[in-house]
Chains A and B, each alone.
Chain A
Amino acid sequence: MNKRSDQSIWLALTPLYSVILGLAASGLMMLLLKHNPIEAFAQLFGYAFRDIYNVADIFAKATPLILTGLAFGFAFRASLFNIGAQGQFYMGSIGAVVVALKLGFLPPVLLLPLCLIASVVMGAAWGAIVGMCKSRFNANEFLISMMSNYVAVAIMNFLVRVPLKEAKGEYPQTDVISEAAWIQSLIPGTRFHWGFILALAAALLAYVILWRTSLGFKIRAVGMNRSAARYAGIDEKKIFVIVFAISAGFAGLAGFMEVNGIQHMVVQGFNPTLGPEGIGIAILGNAHPLGIVLSGLLFGALKVGGNLLTQTTTIPSSIIGIMEGFVMLFVVLSYFVQNKVILAQRKRRLAKGEDVA
């Protein structure tokens, strides 16, 4: 509480400045293609909020992004780096699609929960392997989770090319899952589905685990000072595995959202940037569940507007990656500025003889 009170309202808005600066920097890149960036951004946000369908699409796009954001952010609270959200997402997708294909005769009340559980379990198991490598062998979790992405892609490519290939046998994709396994739309005729509510619930769950349970206390203790946590009797090795399983479970759940909510099948190499974007979202949201939800919505809007912008103008779609990269970079820079400002404020108060906690 104390820490918050000596930060002014302006300081609380730093993520917003980072976003504006990041978009401005990407605007300079648009000038290279002789596009007026102000017009382009007006167009981008105009498209994103043009009609109910597009606004609904923002929520649809934000849903998996919030989850991969949580996948990085949750582990980040334990000072662990889960770079493997992409692979965990693919594993979750496989879990969801296999259940939906093989048990398609079940009624939705049974089928949907089963798909959800399968996706979370598959993702969590894939992530727990990374956690186990970390705790058993003290391996570098950054490297292992990074490499696990490429392995997961290969596994998915194989499964979709051979055992799960569509009945027609034409493309490397699975059959369409039965309608009983589709997540219902919240607003009929749009892609805004119930999954978004589930993603919010997941964010709430992450918050509750981290700040309202003893497990969360241990996780944050390990994150702040590993040796102090160890002396306090916290089994950090167990925490590594648990954190990776939970983090990866979020990413796996994103697989359920995309397979059952949007695609209704698995296509080789679909959504290839969900994982890296989740990292950006988590950093922009300061690894806090609420921040992650808001950043996820912002990235969703950038995606919806950006896609339409690149379809209707000659600006290439790689501009979306540039926007994300610049925004992240400015967020990192803003941490520096923020610390400087807070330090200066405290010094001023100290000089005035006020008490600084």
Chain B
Amino acid sequence: MMITGVLMRALQMSTPLLLGSLAEIFVEYTGVMNMAIEGIFLMGAWGGFVGAYLTKSLFWGLVLAMVAGVVIGAVYAFITVKLKQHQIVTGVALNILSGGISVYLYRVLFGVPIIPLTVESLRRIPIPVLCKIPVIGQALFNQNILTYLALILMPVGYWVLFRTRLGLIVRSTGANPEAVDAAGINVERTQTLAVLASSAINGLAGAFYSIGFLGMFSDDIIGGRGWIAFAICFLGNWNPMGALVGGLVFGLAESLAVLLQTSGIRLVPNELLIAMPYVLTIIATIARKQFNVPAFLGVPYVKERS
């Protein structure tokens, strides 16, 4: 019973990390790092909550989350892809701005509520028969729609990336932009679309924190999880299946931390458990040796003029 609970929560906590890391893998293959990921997660959480609260429909919450993500992504793409400015610096600026804007607009819309506003979170959808499997049935087959989506998207993403023409274009853009350009494919457009698409997915990932299980929004709701998704992209060696493993490990770590915090057993201080995912990221980043870094990652592509 306890194992089922831990597994269930592990899958839950890994959902946004999976979505975020998959989005980051795609965009990084085109040679652009989406450094605004933390801010987009936050805007997604904001959009998800606001959309769901105002329309009373979680569907529109998810839509607004994607829109909010794409808005930040569009600014990021314009500055980094079109104007070729520094990706890390632009990302830092947008993350600070997102932090301000999300909290500010929440205040504009709702004032200062005395009790925190809540919405009903995404409902679990038990899959008939399969959810009756002992131990893992409830964990794997009684989750909400975003978790299913994340679990399906990882293998689909792998297939698209390594088995389709689209995937080839995406991978070539970051590996050899000149060749892609010579083949008549617009490099800037590919990169821009990749940033926009990744921002939409990141918006969904962020929405998972607000309407996926908590049903509320606060300014510290993301707390660096965007960066963890960013790290998982590295740790999974730019391979969606690697990121799947990474995301699940982090989900499990968070789930165990929650279990230990609520169990009343005080083996270690709470703070250590809270710090665990971040320490894990550091250790994993150090331990990872072989990297499959896209050759032109972070280097703006400037078309030579004739």
Contact = CB atoms under 8 A, between A and B. Distances in A.
A111 B278 CA distance: 35
Contacts of B94: 325, 329
Interface string A131-155: 0010001011011101111110011
B100 A151 contact: no
Contact of A333 (B79, B97, B281): B79
B56 interface: no
A329 B99 contact: no
B92 A328 contact: yes
Contacts of B105: 32
Contact of B234 (A143, A154, A326): A143
A322 interface: yes
Contacts of A140: 234, 285
Contacts of A137: 285-287
Nearest to A319: B104
Given A143-B285, A276-B92, A319-B100, A154 B275 contact: yes
Given A147-B282, A335-B85, A322 B271 contact: no
Contact of B271 (A149, A158, A329, A336): A158
B96 interface: yes
A285 to B, nearest CB: 13
Given A332-B93, A336-B83, A143 B227 contact: yes
Interface residues of A, number: 45
B88 A139 contact: no
Contacts of B234: 140, 143
Contact of A332 (B86, B231, B269, B278): B86
B286 A280 contact: no
Interface in A324-357: 324-326, 328-329, 331-333, 335-336
A83 B91 CA distance: 12
A283 B98 CA distance: 18
Given A154-B275, A279-B92, A328-B92, A320 B100 contact: yes
A322 B104 contact: yes
Interface in B215-245: 219, 223-224, 227, 230-231, 234
B179 interface: no
Contacts of A133: 282, 285-286
Given A158-B269, A161-B271, A336-B83, A326 B278 contact: no
A109 B279 CA distance: 39
B275 A151 contact: yes
Interface in B256-306: 269, 271-272, 274-275, 278-279, 281-282, 285-287
A181 to B, nearest CB: 26
Contacts of B75: 329
A329 B286 contact: no
Interface string A1-45: 000000000000000000000000000010011000000000000
B55 to A, nearest CB: 20
A157 interface: yes
B93 A147 contact: no
Contacts of A154: 271-272, 274-275, 278
A148 B282 contact: yes
B282 A144 contact: yes
A51 B223 CA distance: 38
A318 interface: yes
A162 interface: yes
A81 B92 CA distance: 11
B83 A333 contact: yes
B153 interface: no
B229 to A, nearest CB: 11
Contacts of A333: 79, 83, 85
Given A140-B234, A155-B271, A162-B269, A328 B96 contact: yes
A107 interface: no
B136 to A, nearest CB: 31
Nearest to A148: B282
Contact of B278 (A33, A151, A320): A151
A59 B12 CA distance: 47
Most chain-B Cβ atoms within 10 A of its Cβ — which of A144, A147, A323, A331?
A147
Contacts of A169: none
Contacts of A113: none
A142 B88 contact: yes
Nearest to B104: A318
A321 interface: yes
A337 to B, nearest CB: 9
Interface in A250-292: 276, 279-280, 283
A46 interface: no
B131 interface: no
Given A276-B92, A336-B85, A325 B97 contact: yes
Nearest to B78: A333
Given A276-B92, A325-B94, A332-B86, A143 B281 contact: yes
Contacts of B83: 333, 336
B89 interface: yes
Contacts of A157: 271
Nearest to B231: A143
Given A146-B227, A331-B93, 10 more contacts: A29-B101, A133-B285, A148-B278, A318-B100, A324-B96, A328-B89, A328-B96, A329-B94, A332-B79, A336-B85
11 contacts: A32-B105, A143-B230, A154-B275, A276-B92, A316-B104, A318-B100, A320-B100, A322-B101, A325-B96, A329-B75, A336-B79
Closest 5 CB pairs of A and B: A325-B97, A321-B100, A154-B275, A328-B93, A322-B100
